[in-house]
Chains A and B, each alone.
Chain A
Amino acid sequence: MPGELAEPTGVLAGVDPADGGFAYAPSRESTDLVAIQDRYGLWIGGEEVEALSGRTITTTNPATEEPLAEVAEAGPEDVDLAVAAARRAYEDGWRDLPGRERAKVLYRVARQLQERARELAVLETLDGGKPIKESRDIDVPLAAAHFFHHAGWADKLEWAFANRTPSPLGVVGQVIPWNFPLLMAAWKLAPALATGNTVVLKPAETTPLTALLLAEVLAEAEVPPGVVNIVTGGGATGASLVSHPGLDKVAFTGSTTVGRQIQESLAGTRTRLTLELGGKAANIVYEDAAVDQAVEGVVNGIFFNQGHVCCAGSRLLVQESVAELFLDKLRRRIATLRVGDPLDKNTDVGAINSAEQLGRITSLVEAGVEEGGERWQPACALPEKGWWFPPTVFTGVSQSSRIAREEVFGPVLAVLTFRTPEEAVAKANNTPYGLSAGVWSEKGSKVLWTAERLQAGVVWANTFNKLDPTSPFGGYKESGFGREGGLHGLASYVSLGRR
């Protein structure tokens, strides 16, 4: 299937090596630093334990389809043990540990992540298929930054909430996706721990390895046993975690479909919930944008991490007057993207995370063609083994087209045009999602006018896909509720005395 779709439907002369352009020599990151166990247990109560369920899952390198390790699949009885361990750790000391001590533990974690950055980056790329330059320059440094930033909050919480007295919530269940495995773990754990909660974390089925290495880092940093418990597994494990009656809060990042189910299952309980769900972000390019910068931003917006990004700029809204010029430049730039071996330091677009995800992307792209969209893909040779999808641009897309409405979660850009700023905003907001949006213009007042009207939790103006632990992240509408990161993210993990 991937082979068929790799068939280029458009070729630009002059940029393909075979056509006289420049070729790159391979520049492969070494995997020597990484030792992967054959089998991994669960991380409960400060130690690696076998799952009572007796079941395992296999995690695979999506770039080679080779199995990397067998990982325990936690059953309901294992989740029980993990929640109980978290409760004990909460009551037996973590909640009462002075903030300055919690802070020092978390600072240690941040430092240790920096020390082992290379190892973590390679492991992330092996397990998830993302380009090494992204795991090395974005995922791992940001994961460390989340711990470092939040460490400093642990002993300053009384300054964070005016006229309120914050206290921890208790035991938090956290479920994270496969697109930023280590970063999401850090993003979820750091604020929860800084505020004095204990955690049961479920990494994604296809990318459990960096979370398990993180468990080792946490133990070395002397995070007390049971403060963080890691239960690996698939959707069933996640379901037993989020519906566990022993939790005081659930934080979920993933699809809107699953988010709704979790919200429904917690209805009528006092368990708090934050949801960070899907998106279908509009990236608006006005005619007065700095075109070359906007092209870079649009490319980064949709092809960063193969488009496996909930905040990806998957809908390009380009002003009609510059659409032709812009799309021409965009195609030229996309044709230079290097798709292939994620461990190669020159790779721009890595492997699709799983065969299942590749199937989803493929079927939505087929739907896009059937609905009359014009598909364009650059000439790019894809490796024979592994799961791949070439960068894809759809023009002639209507607002009602599935490719313009549904989250593809892959390297697929839907292009629509507009004439006036009002039309741009109306089209941008014409989605049940509201996670992020982009706007490109050199006119400050127009940028701010647009940013004010976009219904999105994060608006990137003349930039895209920027993340930071001090900057709140989270959606409007059906992209979920609650924020993660920044001062506003802290509020999701404390009780403020009322309700």
Chain B
Amino acid sequence: MTAGRLPVRKTYKLFVGGAFPRSESGRSYPVRSADGEQVLAWVAQGSRKDLRDAVRAARGAQAGWAGRTAYNRGQVLYRVAEVLEGRAAQLAAEVAAAGAADPEGEVATAIDRWVWYAGWADKVQMVAGTRNPVAGPFWNVSAPEATGVVGVVAPEVPSLLGLVTRLAPALAAGNAVVALSSERWPLAAATLGEVLATSDVPAGVVNVVSGRTAELLPWLAGHRDVDALDLTGAPIGLWADAARAAAPSTKRVVPPALDDRWLDDDEQSPADVLATMEIKTVWHPAGT
């Protein structure tokens, strides 16, 4: 310790319903630097009950979020990118502590990807909507709308970009999300929660729970009020059990990625927005 000011350390907590609680279980776990030498922080270790609180918060917030105009959702998401930009240095430091080869690059890609998806909020219906020429005197249109509450499992690495890559499209679609952050390196995800809390994203639309993935995922997968489960970032060893737990509520399940291409621009697609959307078709007679 050199002479001078003592830094104020951050307590890394959960992000549930717009607030930052510790785990109701009272547990926390140490997050170590990539070389294992140093404890970076003690992070809240979420429980089944924290997860249930998060799902309840998400369900409560979802209809309001989906009910906003697509233009408004796009602006709120763009605002997230603005605030992220201001936190870039902090995020880069957290990503660097997780051993990222190019921390600044990861953060920059995450911010750019967020902006890209913000723009999809008011375009996905245009790209994926159809007016269907049915054989009769009817006006018939199909358009995507949010599935509802989506469970997202972030990959271990990249600890920020991985979460952003799956979270942003689900939000652009109008879903509310309960995300399990990277178990080993949850710091950047916790900071992302702080960004979301100060970016006009309504409370409960995003909930980030840190902890042991193997402990939390079965409860998230089995929760009857979760409509879709995005396992793109899930450990391959947990996949089958999670998918099985999702079956009783016929959840839409996005399987784990076949390869690790989080940094590629290929990893961003309107198909990822549509992955957590439903197509609704409306018929109406046309006549006098």
Give A residues with C-beta under 8 Å from B.
145, 162, 164, 256, 259-261, 263-264, 266-268, 270, 275, 277, 447, 451, 456-463, 466, 468, 470-474, 476-481, 483, 486-488, 496, 498-499
Contact = CB atoms under 8 A, between A and B. Distances in A.
Interface string B267-288: 0010100000011111111000
B283 A459 contact: yes
Given A268-B244, A459-B283, A488-B279, A275 B132 contact: no
Contacts of B127: 162
Contact of B278 (A268, A275, A277, A476): A476
Contacts of B140: 468, 470-471
A277 B135 CA distance: 25
B247 A496 contact: no
Interface of B: 127-128, 130, 132-136, 138, 140, 142, 147, 227, 239-244, 246-250, 252-255, 257-258, 266, 269, 271, 278-285
A466 B134 contact: yes
B135 A481 contact: no
A491 B130 CA distance: 14
A261 B248 CA distance: 8
B279 A263 contact: no
A472 B257 contact: no
Given A259-B250, A496-B271, 7 more contacts: A164-B271, A267-B246, A267-B247, A457-B279, A462-B285, A472-B132, A478-B249
B212 to A, nearest CB: 20
**B-side binding surface: helix, strand, loop or mixed?**
mixed
B243 A477 contact: no
Contacts of B252: 481
16 contacts: A264-B244, A267-B240, A267-B241, A457-B281, A458-B281, A459-B283, A466-B136, A468-B135, A470-B135, A472-B279, A472-B281, A476-B278, A478-B250, A486-B132, A486-B281, A488-B142
A418 to B, nearest CB: 19
Contact of B257 (A479, A487, A499): A499
Contacts of B282: 451, 458-461
Most buried by B among A260, A268, A457: A268
Contacts of B283: 458-461, 463, 466, 471
B272 to A, nearest CB: 9
Contacts of A483: 279
B250 A480 contact: yes
Contacts of A474: 279
Given A471-B132, A486-B130, A498 B250 contact: no
A498 B266 contact: yes
A447 B281 contact: no
Contacts of A164: 271
Contacts of B280: 451, 456-459, 476
A277 B134 contact: no
A292 to B, nearest CB: 14
A428 to B, nearest CB: 14
A499 B258 contact: yes
Given A498-B271, A499-B257, A268 B132 contact: no
Nearest to B252: A481
B258 to A, nearest CB: 7
A447 B241 CA distance: 42
Nearest to B228: A481
B269 A498 contact: yes
Contact of A277 (B243, B250, B255): B250
A268 B281 contact: no
A164 B278 CA distance: 20
B274 to A, nearest CB: 9
A116 to B, nearest CB: 20
B201 to A, nearest CB: 22
B64 to A, nearest CB: 13
A488 B246 contact: no
B247 A264 contact: yes
B132 A470 contact: yes
Given A256-B250, A480-B250, A471 B281 contact: yes
A310 to B, nearest CB: 14
Nearest to B137: A463
